Amino acid sequence: MKRELPEGMHKLGAGVTTEEGTWKLTPSALTQVTPTSRAKGVPRGWRTAKMTWTLTNKTSEIQQLLNLSPTVRYGAMGRPAAEFTDTGIEGIANAISDDPPRVKPGGVYTLTVGVAVPADAAGEPVTITTRPSTMFGDTGDVDFFEGPFPGAAARKDSVLHPRPVPDTEKALAFGQWKADPQMTVDHVRPEGTADGRAMFSGELTVRNAAAVADLPYTPMKKSVRVYYADELKEAELIPGGAGAADTGFIAPQRAATHTFHFSLPKGAKAESVTVEVTDLGTAEGTFEGKLAD
């Protein structure tokens, strides 16, 4: 029987036992909602939906609630979705505190979470990664869930199939895909000026080429170093890893996109830039191209 999702991923609505059988996580499918005037965190013009997380204590002891901290992405490129709160949509509870929520043996704790995506992303897949943690740190278990954002039929081109270029010692052009690891840098463009410095943004997309959800996972923890001019003068270093904007693991056969921002020194002019992507200090790919208008 053909699998609709890679092995190890789960449809939204399915329950998954995790933490050595301590908990059962059941995230519901997304349902469309209209935000009220009290909504917080909804970007202008974005569509909104909500989902319910049901956490069941499977043990005979009182358990401190897991801190889910889900990473939510949408579409084939895995761009970050926005999480919002509203009346009746309280969001993820803070389980890392001096007095965290607790769940009795066999008890259930529910959370209602708001998810927002751009208006043209209706019907796109929403991929959610959970790596629960406690006050002592990450627990180690990673689970992947996926389901469509409501509002329209899912697009047929919602699965990303990059065409990596052959291995080469030359830098790749923006938009080209490196084969190993699968990644690309694209949409590098101006964003105005600030304090006399020219501001820019770009997108780094990393794809997990694994066929199943098994260790080692592919984390989105790349650092980006930007150079300009023929002498490759360093413009900026955008570090990855702990504390970066998007460090959640990437599901198998899925991608994650991180938007990075950089500036050029005052008075510096450049028609093109070179972007080096590193992981824990090791260079993994170099891309170059013109700054788009």
pLDDT score for 245: 45
CA distance 190 to 274: 15
pLDDT score for 273: 96
pLDDT score for 221: 80
CA distance 98 to 231: 53
- Residues 10-54 pLDDT 10s: 999 999 998 889 999 999 999 999 999 999 999 999 999 999 999
Q: Which residues, in sequence order, are CB contacts of 226 under 8 Å at separation 6+?
A: 234, 235, 236, 237, 238, 262, 273, 274, 275, 276
CA distance 250 to 217: 7
Q: For the whole prediction, is pTM greater than 0.75?
A: yes
Instruction: Kindly give the parts of the chain with pLDDT less than 70.
Output: 1-3, 134-140, 153-158, 215-217, 241-247, 293
Instruction: Report residue 134: phi and psi, to 5°.
Output: -125, -175
DSSP state of 281: T
Cα angle: 75, vertex 78, 79; to 5 degrees: 95
User: DSSP 3-state assignment of 269?
Assistant: coil
Residues linked to residue 205 through DSSP beta bridges, in sequence order = 184, 257
What does the radius of gyration of the chain's CA atoms come to, in whole angstroms?
21
The number of beta carbons lying within 10 Å of the beta carbon of residue 270 is 18
CA distance 56 to 64: 12
